Amino acid sequence: MSATDLLARSLSKMRALVASGNSRPREASERDIERLRQQLQECAESRGGEVSTRQRAARLAEAYLRLNDAGRRRFLLMIALEFGPDPARVAKAHEAYQAAVGSAGQWDAEARLRGAMRSRRLRILTQFNAIPQGVKFLVDLRADLLRYLPDEPLLKPLDRELENRLTAWFDVGFLELQRITWQSPAALLEKLVQYEAVHEIRSWDDLKNRLDSDRRCYAFFHPRMPLEPLIFVQVALVDALADDVQKLLDINAPLADANRATTAIFYSISATQEGLRGVSFGNFLLKRVVEDLQRDFPKLKTFSTLSPIPGLMSWVRRNPAEAAGVFSDADRKRLMAAGLEGDVESVWTRLSGDGSWAEEKSLARALRDPLLRLAAHYLLNARRDGKPVDPVARFHLGNGARVERLNWLADTSTKGFSQSLGIMVNYLYDPDRIENNVEAFSAEGQVDSAAAVRRMARP
């Protein structure tokens, strides 16, 4: 086994120890920092041959993983501040380029200017990429970087460069779409349980149900991260538009005949790598999955989600007056008759609990219409930078879907009530409208929605 392989194995063990909490992070002494600075300098200058370069990068990666948060922050600040382009070299190259414009030497001068502007940070990052497990290391490193960024704006240049590199390395052309089944490696199945971000996987029986013959699970993988799903989608094959996630997740429900299914419901989409924030490939995942499903199940005609509305209640708390505006005088009278006293703003306090209010039948009936109007107003009218404020809505509408239907008490979990009062939404992917929807949303922020939803969203 080569020295590089030994270092890669050491790096793998160190990552596992850190993840399990069995390795105690260490503080970085001034001597440690100076040693790291010297190693980074050697990386930036590409000293030695290919083998020594990889060994040095692997040692640096292992040293980084051993550091505590303060040490990692200093390490990243060192790269950001000390290994950027040389301003004097850039100025000289720019002056030479300006003098060469219009002459036969313009293009050579341009190449030299590009070379001068190339950051030494990129050389360091590229050398990490070359080591085994180096891609995963850089993804995790950026996750740290994003945590530090709000308090350390000087890290922004490093973040921009690393995001650009990751965007190139994780181009959708390099990714592999794979179906995950109950027969997939146990390590991969454990990752699904760990990374599921929408509806918690509570047991192995729960996971097995989600991978049964009337279900599908697909994920994108990078060749350098073979057991690390980058993003995965769970699909239910049913015969109608779903309006209740509890029914979809019921492990005791009878098995459906997938070959008779007319509707594919995407009920959970989870991005797994925080370090890939800003690297977009979720829309390509859905397109590829639709193509795969259409090939295997020709009777499928409808492709829809059953999605959470994760930002609804946080938006209500920020905008209580606007939210209260959806309640009519008739709504207020019905709420008072159902025993909910006080002004409308006090409604949010009553509804911010565990959802026990939904068990009071008269109160739930009185709340149904105004809360559905509230959800419609939020999805269609609440904006940030000209686009819907809800992150799930931005994702699906940006990919060409339309807001098809709102579903009352579709998610009665504690999370469902706390985020969106138990309301869920179907985003419909109509192949005949996707392209126009994408263009209208991108250019004008225009949201396609069913007539019933538009009527609910009217002031």
* Residues tagged active-site: 307, 396
5-16: string of b/e by CB count within 10 Å (b at 16+)?
Answer: eebbeebeebbe
Q: Please give the Cα distance from 44 to 46 (Å, whole number).
A: 6
26 DSSP β-pair partners = 67
Are 113 and 94 in contact by the 8 Å Cβ rule? The answer is yes
Question: In 3-state terms, what secondary structure has residue 97?
Answer: helix
306 C-beta neighbours (distance < 10 Å), count: 27
Q: Give φ, ψ of 458 to 5 degrees.
A: -65, 140
Q: 3-state DSSP call for residue 176?
A: strand
Query: What's the DSSP call for residue 413?
Result: S
At 133, give phi and psi (nearest 5°): 65, 10
| Look-up of token digits 């301003």 | 87
Cβ(226)–Cβ(136) under 8 Å?
Answer: no
Answer yes or no: are the C-beta atoms of 215 and 235 closer than 8 Å: yes
DSSP-derived 3-state class of residue 308: coil
Burial 259-288 (b: 16+ CB within 10 A, else e): eebebbbbbbbbbbbebbeebbbbbbbbeb
Q: Which two tokens stand for residue 244?
A: 């209740």
The continuous run of DSSP H or E covering 272 comes out as none
| 204 Cβ contact list (under 8 Å, min separation 6) | none
Residue 51 is classified by DSSP as H
The 3-state secondary structure of 44-66 reads: HCCCCCHHHHHHHHHHHHHHHHH
Q: Count the neighbouring beta carbons within 10 Å of the beta carbon of residue 79.
A: 26
Question: Any residues with CB less than 8 A from the CB of 255 and at least 6 apart, and which?
Answer: 212, 213, 214
Q: Which of 95, 109, 131, 98 is nearest to 7 (CA)?
A: 131
Per DSSP, helices labelled H in 220-344 are 245-249, 282-296, 312-318, 320-324, 329-337
Residue 303 near residue 253, CB atoms below 8 Å: no
C-alpha 343/C-alpha 172 separation (Å) is 51
